[in-house]
Structure 1
Amino acid sequence: MLTIAVLRKKLHFRPSPPQVMMIGFIIIILIGAQLLSSPISFTEGTSIPFLDAIFMSASATCVTGLTVLNTGSHFSIFGQVVIILLAQIGGLGFMTLATLFALMFRKRISFRERLVLQESMNYGSTEGIVRMIRKVLLYALVIELTGAVLLSSYFMLEMPALQALYFGVYHSISFFNNAGFDLFAQFPDRAASLIHYVEDPFINIVSMLLIFFGGIGFIVISELVTFPKNKKFSLHSKVVLSVTGILTAIGAVVILALEFSNPYTLQPLSATGKFLGATFQSVTARSAGLSTIDPSLLREVTQFFLIILMFIGAGPGSTGGGIRVTTFAILIGAMIAMVRGKDDIVLFRYRIAKRQIHQAIMFTMIAFFIICAATMLLTITESGSFLSILFEATSAYCTVGMSAGLTAHLSDPGKIIIILLMFVGRLGPVTLAFALNTHSKKELYRFPEGKITIG
Structure 2
Amino acid sequence: MSRFQFRPATFKMVFFMYLLGTVIFAILYLLPVSHKQPLLPVDAFFLSASAISATGLSTVTVAQELTTAGKIILLIQMEIGGIGVMALVGALLIALRTNAPVPSQTLMIFDQNQNSSRSISKLMAFIVKYTLIVETAGFLLILPSALQHGSHAFAAFFLSVSTFTNAGFEISGNGLDNFKGEPFVLAVLSCMIILGVLGFAVVMEFLQSRRKKKSLYFKVNVLMHGILLLAGFLFFFFVDFIHMPGLSFTEKIIQSLFFSAAPRSGGLASLDLHVFSFPSLLFMIMLMFIGGSPSSCAGGIRTTTFAVILAKLWSVIRGSNETHMFRKTLFAEDVNKAFLVFFAFLFLFFFSFFVLSFTEKAAPFPLAFEIMSALSTCGFSLGITAGLTVFGKIWLAFLMLIGRLGVIILIYTFMNQKKSTIKYAKESILIG
Counterpart for residue 195 of structure 2: 213
Q: CA deviation at 1:407?
A: 0.8
- Aligned residue type for 2:145: Y
- Aligned residue type for 1:79: G
| Selected match of 2:119 from 128, 132, 137 | 128
Q: CA deviation at 1:392?
A: 0.4
Q: Is the 8 A contact 2:301 2:406 kept in 1?
A: no
Q: Deviations over 1:21-60 (max 9, x none)?
A: 11111111011111111221113xx330000000000000
Q: How does 1:179-258 map to 2 (within 5 A)?
A: 179-185=167-173, 191-192=174-175, 194-228=176-210, 230-258=211-239
| Selected match of 2:98 from 100, 107, 120 | 107
Q: CA deviation at 1:321?
A: 0.4
- Aligned residue type for 1:171: L
Q: How does 1:307-326 map to 2 (within 5 A)?
A: 307-326=285-304
Q: Which moved more, 1:301-310 or 1:388-397?
A: 301-310
Counterpart for residue 169 of structure 1: 157
- Aligned residue type for 1:257: F
The 2-side partners of 1:441 and 1:356 are apart by 17
Counterpart for residue 23 of structure 1: 16
Q: Is the 8 A contact 1:199 1:277 kept in 2?
A: no
The 2-side partners of 1:20 and 1:27 are apart by 10
2:72 corresponds to 1:81: yes
The 2-side partners of 1:206 and 1:157 are apart by 17
Q: Is the 8 A contact 2:241 2:256 kept in 1?
A: no
Give the direction of change, closer, same or farther, for the CA distance of 1:293–1:432 in structure 2 (3 Å limit): same
Cα-Cα RMSD = 1.9
SS of corresponding position for 2:72: helix
The 2-side partners of 1:443 and 1:175 are apart by 46
Q: CA deviation at 1:343?
A: 3.5
Give the direction of change, closer, same or farther, for the CA distance of 1:295–1:59 in structure 2 (3 Å limit): same
Q: Is the 8 A contact 1:199 1:276 kept in 2?
A: no
2:430 corresponds to 1:448: no
Q: Is the 8 A contact 1:152 1:167 kept in 2?
A: no
- Aligned residue type for 2:430: T
Q: Is the 8 A contact 1:21 1:120 kept in 2?
A: yes
Counterpart for residue 247 of structure 2: 269
The 1-side partners of 2:75 and 2:404 are apart by 17
The 2-side partners of 1:434 and 1:271 are apart by 49
- Aligned residue type for 1:319: C
Q: CA deviation at 1:65?
A: 0.4
Give me the TM-score of the superposition, normalised by structure 1: 0.89
- Aligned residue type for 1:16: A
Q: Deviations over 1:310-364 (max 9, x none)?
A: 1011011111000111111122222333333344333222222322221111111
- Aligned residue type for 1:452: I
Give me the TM-score of the superposition, normalised by structure 2: 0.94
2:367 corresponds to 1:389: yes
Counterpart for residue 59 of structure 1: 50
SS of corresponding position for 1:319: coil
Give the direction of change, closer, same or farther, for the CA distance of 1:305–1:453 in structure 2 (3 Å limit): same
- Aligned residue type for 2:50: S
| Selected match of 1:334 from 296, 312, 323 | 312
- Aligned residue type for 1:84: L
Give the direction of change, closer, same or farther, for the CA distance of 1:442–1:351 in structure 2 (3 Å limit): closer
SS of corresponding position for 1:179: coil
The 1-side partners of 2:62 and 2:77 are apart by 13
Counterpart for residue 405 of structure 2: 427
Identify which of structures 1 and 2 has the higher relative contact order when contacts are C-alpha pairs closer than 8 Å and 6+ apart: 2
- Aligned residue type for 2:421: L
- Aligned residue type for 1:237: F
The 2-side partners of 1:47 and 1:454 are apart by 58
Unaligned ranges ≥5, structure 1: 1-13, 186-190
Q: How many residues align?
A: 426
Identity %: 29
The 2-side partners of 1:82 and 1:397 are apart by 23
Q: Is the 8 A contact 1:331 1:360 kept in 2?
A: yes
- Aligned residue type for 1:446: K
Q: How does 1:276-287 map to 2 (within 5 A)?
A: 276-287=254-265
Question: Which structure is larger by alpha-carbon Rg, 1 or 2?
Answer: 1
The 1-side partners of 2:144 and 2:113 are apart by 35
The 2-side partners of 1:85 and 1:27 are apart by 16
- Aligned residue type for 1:285: P
Q: How does 1:400-411 map to 2 (within 5 A)?
A: 400-411=378-389
Q: Is the 8 A contact 1:91 1:177 kept in 2?
A: yes
